[in-house]
Amino acid sequence: MIIKKSEFTISSPNVTKCPEDTKAEYAFIGRSNVGKSSLINMLCNHKGLAKTSAKPGKTLLINHFIINNEWYLVDLPGYGYAKSSKTVRNKLEQMIAQYILQRKQLVNVFVLIDIRHEQQKIDREFVDWLGESNVPFSIIFTKADKLSPAKAKSNALLWMKKLEDRWENLPPYFITSAEQKMGKDEVLDYIEQINET
Ligand code: GTP
Ligand code: MG
């Protein structure tokens, strides 16, 4: 699929303030600083569309971007940023959980994982919660440019394999790099495939 047009629509503090629209939505979630906003910019070939930062905790609202006037990409705040206060973390976690559970237009959640690290408890708990909640999701490994292609692949496979202790049907996964525009066609084709069904 080709993205011809991508535009910022609105930032919302909670799910009730999100656009009153029935178009399909695809949301990006993961630990703070994992590369959610950068990935959205890479997919859209639109630098500066979603705001990025080297410091964690940049995205603090639910951000909608309308794509080809047909569907939305949604940039969510990251979870688990240890340096933010407990009150802020709880508020963000609630915002994210309500959006994911209540937003009827949400078609698929992409959970972003930094490909350099072993499976972290917080990510595993989040993925298990999505599974228990029957929320359709896929895994996107980010920052693959930081490893050799072989190491990136083996890390991703190992991460996925660890899900097998609990989940029989593993979700699809993608290896990406916003820096090198890797994985763009795979993710966009996957979205297109869902859009058509
Ligand atoms: P929050 O909004 O704070 O939760 O962060 P985020 O997940 O949106 O991350 P963001 O896209 O702002 O990127 C965080 C940092 O990682 C920035 O310094 C990016 O330049 C860097 N980064 C993102 N994607 C990649 C990538 O594919 N490769 C490399 N090398 N760096 C990346
Ligand atoms: Mg962000």
The residue among 29, 65, 18 whose CA lies nearest residue 46 is 65
Task: Tell me which of 11, 31, 33, 142 to substitute to probe ligand 1's pocket, judged by most ligand atoms within 8 Å of the beta carbon.
Answer: 33
Tokens standing for 84? Answer: 């933010």
Report whether residue 52 contacts ligand 1, using a CB cutoff of 6 Å.
yes
Report whether residue 172 contacts ligand 1, using a CB cutoff of 6 Å.
no
**Element of type H or E holding 174:** strand 173-175
Q: How many Cβ atoms are within 10 Å of 33's Cβ, its own excluded?
A: 21
CATH of 6-196, one of 3.40.50.300, 1.10.287.130, 2.40.160.20, 3.30.1660.40: 3.40.50.300
Integer Cα distance of 128 and 78 in angstroms: 17
ipTM of the complex: 0.99
Question: What pLDDT is stored for residue 88 in this prediction?
Answer: 83
Report whether residue 142 contacts ligand 1, using a CB cutoff of 6 Å.
yes
Per-residue confidence in pLDDT tens, the chain, 197 aa: 889 999 999 999 999 999 999 999 999 999 999 999 999 999 999 999 999 999 888 888 999 999 999 999 999 999 987 777 888 888 889 999 999 999 999 999 999 999 999 999 999 999 999 999 999 999 999 999 999 999 999 999 999 999 999 999 999 999 999 999 999 999 999 999 998 88
Question: What pLDDT is stored for residue 58 in this prediction?
Answer: 82
Which residues have CB under 8 Å from 183's CB, separation 6+?
140, 144, 174, 175, 176, 177
Tokens standing for 73? Answer: 């990409």
Domain boundaries, the chain: 6-196
Report whether residue 31 contacts ligand 1, using a CB cutoff of 6 Å.
no
Q: What is the secondary structure of 36-76 as a DSSP string?
A: HHHHHHHHHT-TTSS---SSS----SEEEEEETTTEEEEE-
Report whether residue 59 contacts ligand 1, using a CB cutoff of 6 Å.
yes
- Identify the residue whose C-alpha is closest to ligand 1 atom 10: 35
* Distance between Cα 10 and ligand 2 center (Å): 15
Question: What pLDDT is stored for residue 139 in this prediction?
Answer: 98
* Distance between Cα 188 and ligand 1 center (Å): 19
**Element of type H or E holding 110:** strand 106-114
Question: What pLDDT is stored for residue 185 in this prediction?
Answer: 97
Question: What pLDDT is stored for residue 85 in this prediction?
Answer: 83
Model confidence, pTM? 0.96
